[in-house]
């Protein structure tokens, strides 16, 4: 029998790997913008979420799956943090809390736009903004990689504990 703790860390491990891939995409997108391989409008279209009607079109075009990264990143992170809250994994929740608070702050103070998203094509090419977004991407990547190894450790420790408990 698998405990809720084990399920929480298995889900967190899988979703954290997804977040790492999303953050890598974020870093690559800003690097392409910095080196002029991509224009600001394309970058914002790839990173900002799009409307529901446009999302239906995107699902029909498999190549455009990467168009909505920001809100799913926040949602995935909140989803497995909710599992930590339900299971009482206070330490795991506390190490994720600063990133949750930062994401809420970041979204609440986003540039004025008509739709959801964080990136405005008119300001994203500003060198200060571009450097800030790149640093944010690298910081999140480091955080999620460290969390990945912590979740892996906790998953293995939980499995060992369960095997030992049922052996006796």
C-beta contacts of 90-99 below 8 A and 24+ residues apart = 92/8, 92/9, 92/12, 92/150, 92/151, 92/154, 95/147, 95/150, 96/147, 99/140, 99/143
Helices marked H in 35-126: 40-47, 52-60, 70-87, 90-108
Boundaries of domain holding 112: 4-167
- How does DSSP classify residue 65? G
What is the number of structural domains in the chain? 1
Widest CA span in the chain: 65
The whole-model pTM stands at 0.77
Question: How many Å apart are CA 40 and CA 123, to the nearest integer?
Answer: 9
Write out the chain's pLDDT in tens, 168 residues: 578 888 889 999 999 999 999 889 888 888 888 887 777 777 777 777 654 444 445 444 433 343 455 677 888 899 989 989 998 999 999 999 999 999 888 888 877 765 666 777 777 777 888 888 889 999 999 999 999 999 999 999 988 887 666 655
């Amino acid at each position: 029998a698998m405990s809720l703790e084990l399920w929480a860390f298995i889900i967190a491990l899988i979703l954290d790997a997804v977040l790492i891939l999303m953050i890598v995409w974020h870093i690559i997108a800003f690097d392409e913008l910095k080196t002029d391989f991509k224009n600001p409008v394309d970058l914002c279209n790839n990173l900002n979420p799009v409307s529901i009607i446009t999302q239906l079109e995107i699902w029909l075009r498999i190549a455009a799956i990467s168009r909505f990264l920001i809100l799913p990143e926040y949602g995935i992170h909140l989803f497995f943090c909710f599992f930590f809250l339900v299971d009482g994994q206070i330490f795991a929740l506390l190490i994720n809390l600063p990133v949750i608070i930062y994401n809420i702050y970041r979204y609440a103070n986003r540039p004025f736009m008509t739709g959801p998203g964080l990136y405005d094509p008119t300001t994203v090419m500003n060198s200060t903004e571009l450097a800030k977004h790149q640093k944010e991407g690298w910081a999140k990547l480091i955080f999620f990689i460290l969390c990945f190894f912590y979740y892996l450790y906790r998953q293995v420790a939980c499995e060992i504990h369960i095997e030992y408990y049922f052996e006796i």
